[in-house]
Structure 1
């Protein structure tokens, strides 16, 4: 099976890595890929947000399957164009991807389907948004309605910061069209869990839960990021709770998109909070999570290529996934300054030494090749994922590998999966 992967981030690195292990994949191409994927996949320089260019690329290589990684191309209609051209694609059409492209749209679908979420409302007026925030009280939660690379969410106890976040979107145009509307919602207290499933619009095949770390600094301090680390499985979300979330959250959303005339095919991601009253939804995404993918796929024993193709062909009925009993911890190595301004073009050393650590995979995210040297090119530069029998061991391996990699300003959270390790010890 000739397979084309669209994207260049850490998620796409992990998707390509899993596809490369598939017995059904005979040729693998990444567009544009990164220095990490160059070791096992060909690269293709194409504008992945341009549907026509992607169709041309797929035809050029006679792709049997195209796997779309990032949300941007999905919202831009790349999957629509591929399907119209007769190319099998893993990823939802643009209309279905609106569950991520518009938080207001997703909340409306949730309300219609009876999916439990936070009390919320959306606004294009600063005064009305502030009034609703005052009604809800602290902690305040303000979200840009559209795509903002994981940085459009502000959670704060400080009213002035919340008001400034509203003004940033509606008056200062900080997020452009994505911030033309803001969602203000109730704060949900509890552990966050990411639940990802693959669906062909009818059958839902869930992955095991994962937990990521959104804040920039240890102790969940600092601004929101795209994610600073992740682990799987999640001790706080045992199988019975995960099954209930699939039944009460994911399956109803898949049914809601179908009822709305936008059947969903691809990876659907539910971000939830385990509140005292039970799981409630924070958000839906229309693709695999990043960095969740880097902590999930190393544990997946099933053939990911076969799974992706079955999804694209609408043939998931009866599919079940097999998981490694070992745990996985993924640690993000970020550029200094991220998620605000950060330098690029900084030389990276120690990659081979890190990859030599037992049980470790190094997934490139924001890297580039310059004059034969690998340099930084993004905020989240690398993800080091370690597979081991225990969280204590997986953390030790991941942080050992991360310590071997160096670039100027490197920033790493030191508490990834620490909660899971503590839980593991208390239950021993």
Structure 2
């Protein structure tokens, strides 16, 4: 074993960073044995140096992250500060000064991964980011390495624990959205500002990363169709139950049937209770990968939190350190296919549409005519008069598979009917 330690700079010492530092210290012997050389925490960049950080030598703390990554003796930089800047500049600076990088920064990778890949390749360094998607679940490495010889056609899954917890509570406990969000916040699953989670930004960033790796093409955050869960109601969950379904926020990345394009989307969807994703509870994540030779693979586990995310970071750290010792680098960007990303309007799926309509004869025929005129075939219809005597009824239509653009045109036309008082909800049906 080499006696000179590999030196690690840690950028950020919050929930994840502090756990990374703790594991590096408490498992130093095991890490050294697995890598072939000891690893040493050489510096920790933070914003608030006065905060007490148990188990970390105060002499390692600095507020000058730039100076830390420019040190010529740093072998690996671990970036867990998040956001776009200064993370992007710090990472590229680390490459320029001879360090490889382990990152958990999904937002940066989704927005400007190409810049990071290019900088890593230019300087002959590693960029690893297992922790950026699905916490402790090994997903990036299987896609980049284990399935490198296969053709991945679809990635489908639950990649945000906060929204899964909220929808699970709405489904199993009958809670309303606000009540379930409050519970998620109290338990630490949701941030004080939950926008990134509940509006689907977090899941969309992960979908962009997964699609890019799975399909060997560049997929940015702007390429991902995104809808959050803030409009999901208890009535939607109840309607799903009547269909033998539940509601999940899904990230779906697909290769077109002709192989000439890809799509990436995040939105709530009804899935059958018989589907394995329906049983994913609380803040857990689960992802299906469908490959041509391997078939269907499922990855399941805790998708967030200090310890699970730190586990993924440390796994990458071990791999990068081994590469450093062997004077080699791991896989870089693979975007050779350069496939176009198709718009959401071309996505084909089924739909569940709930309408408030006038409770009188002929309404169903009018609604059915609109669907037919836009080429959307109806599978089932359920109509129920309201008890309040206001002359309205609830009409639920479930369609066969149709392009999203055709469904949008149908809904726009339905809103113009005098007999349609409102479109209560629209939800896609997946996983059948």
- TM-score (normalizing by structure 2): 0.32
Write 1 or 2 for the structure with the bigger share of helix. Answer: 2
Structure with max Cα Rg: 2
